[in-house]
């Protein structure tokens, strides 16, 4: 492990905005802020908003800056990523931001039923072959239902045509309440929208390379069990690889690399 990463981990330990609770720690005792985030951490009763797989925390911090009347919590398993947003928030003296270093699958250990008002899922791995790992799949939505308030909202922002199509099919098949839906966010409505106009570092690079950004928001409800949509296996896969591997939405580039 590089010295820079070790330095970041050490700084995370001393950052009061970061809570690190791996599974082995949770086995030793319940998370003390579960059901008490507002009273014991933020000191208010403002709505709590999560960003799942927050990475460097750009969205978590950006939202918190724009909406001081809400509390924002970024969740990610990678400490070196969380360091950026947590350090920025601490240096700025922000009081409505926190970060939890843990697996998304452990949400119920950290939040009580109905404690969360909104969930943001920003540019996740589309998991085209693994529906159980898809963050907008039925398995994860059942988890979200357990911590969201009855009218809780899920926001998806993605560059993936596959994930955008799948999410729409899943939501419609289960009769969930659609709030917003656009296949080309910045061409349709984001110019004057303080929420949707937050752009992460990688998002801007995808835009510069010709990708369109999709946005979909919905209420997962808490009623009947969710079912996978018929025909989901037939959704066309994305024709590009993730930005980190250097490809854009052009099939010829993918073919040339094989």
Tell me which residues are annotated as active site.
Answer: 125
Segment holding 202, helix H or strand E: helix 201-208
The residue among 126, 35, 125, 19 whose CA lies nearest residue 73 is: 19
Adjacent-strand bridge partners of 20 = 101
The rounded distance, in Å, linking the Cα atoms of 121 and 106 is 16
The rounded distance, in Å, linking the Cα atoms of 147 and 86 is 23
The rounded distance, in Å, linking the Cα atoms of 193 and 92 is 23
Q: With left for phi above 0 and alpha for psi between -120 and 50, is residue 127 left, alpha or beta? A: left
The residue among 82, 32, 36 whose CA lies nearest residue 60 is: 82
Helix (H, G, I), strand (E, B) or coil at 204: helix
The rounded distance, in Å, linking the Cα atoms of 86 and 11 is 10
């Amino acid at each position: 492990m590089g010295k820079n990463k070790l330095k970041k981990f050490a700084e995370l330990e001393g950052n009061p905005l970061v809570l690190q609770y791996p599974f082995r720690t949770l086995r030793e005792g319940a998370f003390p802020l579960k059901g008490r985030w507002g009273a014991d951490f933020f000191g208010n009763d403002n709505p709590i908003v999560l960003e799942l797989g927050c990475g460097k925390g750009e969205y978590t911090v950006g939202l918190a800056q724009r909406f001081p009347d809400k509390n924002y919590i970024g969740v990610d398993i990678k400490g070196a990523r969380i360091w950026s947003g947590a350090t920025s928030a601490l240096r700025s003296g922000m009081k409505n931001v926190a970060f939890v270093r843990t697996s998304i699958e452990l949400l119920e250990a950290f939040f009580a039923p109905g404690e969360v008002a909104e969930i943001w899922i920003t540019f996740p791995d589309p998991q085209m072959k693994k529906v159980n790992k898809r963050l907008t799949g039925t398995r994860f939505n059942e988890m979200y239902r357990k911590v969201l308030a009855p009218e809780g909202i899920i926001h998806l922002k993605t560059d993936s045509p596959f994930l955008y199509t799948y999410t729409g099919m899943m939501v419609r098949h289960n009769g969930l309440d659609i709030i917003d839906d656009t296949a080309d966010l910045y061409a349709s409505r984001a110019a004057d929208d303080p929420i949707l106009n937050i752009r992460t570092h990688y998002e801007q690079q995808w835009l510069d390379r010709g990708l369109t950004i999709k946005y979909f928001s919905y209420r997962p409800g808490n009623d009947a069990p969710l079912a996978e949509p018929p025909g989901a296996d037939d959704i066309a896969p994305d024709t590009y690889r993730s930005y980190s591997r250097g490809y854009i939405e052009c099939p010829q580039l993918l073919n040339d690399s094989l």
